[in-house]
Amino acid sequence: MKLPQEVYDIAEAIKSMTIRGAGKIARSTAEALKITAQKSTATRVEEFVDELTLAAKILYETRPTAVSLPNALRYIMIRCYSDYEKGASLEEIRNDVIKAADEFIRNSLEAVNKIAEFGSMRIENGDVVMTHCHSSTAIAVLKRAWDEGKRFTVISTETRPRFQGRITASILASYGIPVKMIVDSAARFFMQDVDKVIVGADAVAANGAVVNKIGTSMIALAAHEARVNFFVAAETCKFSPESMLGGLITIEFRDPTEVVDQAFLKENPGIEVLNPAFDVTPAAYIDIIFTEKGAIPPQAAILILREEYGWFTKAPLPDFLRGVRSVPLSHIS
């Protein structure tokens, strides 16, 4: 079964981190399913559903930690399977899939604007704000605050090993916001100068724990120690429904050559280089999560999940979109 080339291109771009950021990953996922539906040459309903399921599976396997990705798939595929169970025609299912994809993309973009509105209320004149990695949602908060006339300085970690923080620093500086960039390991050293920390999220668990770029939890710990407010900006599509059932969020380990070159590995065969892409910040170190529903304490994450994904256990979905993805992360608390 051959899918449109654009679907494979999007999947590869997500896997290789050419497309990065949980929100953008989710929107690109929705766009890939939309393209599949639009370009399908299927003449039977079963064939069309199989094509869409294959596209969903290919996309699902690209980035295991980005919860927004399977949530985007679920948002669209539940319409597909529900229509199929009701005996809808091929064109009815196709139109509903395209409509659902458009809705998801529109809702995602609107969510970022609402989060920026809520988050900017917490930024004040004279603040020094630390951020980590590249979050379009956290950036939107800072841009909104700047547009409101507030003047502040941002400290951006460069975020090794792929240096996404340099992207953040460049975007903010081009917007006119004063930026100081630091190496990740200097975050605690500069925390004494910081008033607030704001980061994005790749996943939010039912207990309020946040999965984000590796190094986030150390910054949160330093902020907690220094009594600095630690904020997270996250759309509700990043909340993990699997975590309501006790499932833990998979932490992606990436290629060691992102950290050291191949020559080092060959010269030192006895060294195992570990490269986790994310870590887990406990709810106890988080003051507020800004969502499009409002500013909530992390302990209220379960309420968001019940409201948004109460259908999860009963939804007509394939096994790979229902499975609880778990790894031994006993430190999630």
| Positions marked active-site | 133, 202
| Residue 249 · residue 205 · CB < 8 Å | yes
Which CA distances in Å does 40 have to 1, 35, 52, 206, 254? Answer: 11, 8, 9, 37, 33
| Residue 209 · residue 289 · CB < 8 Å | no
Angle, nearest 10°, between helix axes 68-85 and 45-60?
170
Q: Which residues, including other chains, have CB under 8 Å from residue 67's CB and lie 6 or more apart?
A: 22, 202, 203, 204, 211, 237, 238, 239, 240, 249
| Alpha-carbon dihedral sign for residues 11, 12, 17, 20 | negative
Q: DSSP letters along 87-128, please?
A: T--HHHHHHHHHHHHHHHHHHHHHHHHHHHHHHHTT--TT-E
Per residue in 13-26, is it b (16+ CB within 10 Å) or e — as a string?
bbeebebbbbbbbb
Max CA pair span of the chain: 64
DSSP H helices, 121-243, are 136-147, 164-174, 187-190, 216-226
Q: Distance (Å, rounded) from C-alpha 247 to C-alpha 327?
A: 9
